[in-house]
Amino acid sequence: MARFVILDRDGVINFDSDEFIKSPAEWEPIPGSLEAIARLNQAGFRVVVATNQSGVGRGLYDMATLNAIHDKMHRLLAQYGGRIDAVFYCPHTNADDCDCRKPSAGMFREIANRYNVDLRGVPAIGDSLRDLQAAAEVGANPILVRTGKGERTLEKGGLPEGTQVYADLAEAVKAILS
Residue 91 is part of a domain; what is its CATH number? Answer: 3.40.50.1000
25: Cβ contacts below 8 Å, ≥ 6 apart: none
Predicted confidence at residue 2, as pLDDT, reads 58
Q: How confident is the model at residue 32 (pLDDT cuts 50, 70, 90)?
A: very high
Cα 117 versus chain centre, distance:
18
Q: How confident is the model at residue 76 (pLDDT cuts 50, 70, 90)?
A: very high
Catalytic residue (choose from 10, 16, 131, 168):
10
What would the pLDDT profile of 13-30 be if each residue is shown by its tens digit?
Answer: 999 999 999 999 999 999
Residue 169, pLDDT above cutoff 70:
yes
What would the pLDDT profile of 114-142 be if each residue is shown by its tens digit?
Answer: 999 999 999 999 999 999 999 999 999 99
Catalytic annotation present for 8: yes
Segment 153-162 shows an average pLDDT of 97
What would the pLDDT profile of 35-69 be if each residue is shown by its tens digit?
Answer: 999 999 999 999 999 999 999 999 999 999 999 99
Predicted confidence at residue 1, as pLDDT, reads 46
The separation between the first and the last C-alpha atoms of the chain, rounded to the nearest angstrom, is 19
Q: 125: closest CA among 178, 47, 72?
A: 47
Predicted confidence at residue 67, as pLDDT, reads 97
- Assign residue 5 a region: left if phi > 0, alpha if psi is -120 to 50, beta otherwise? beta
- The total of structural domains in the chain comes to 1
Range of the domain at 143: 3-124+133-177
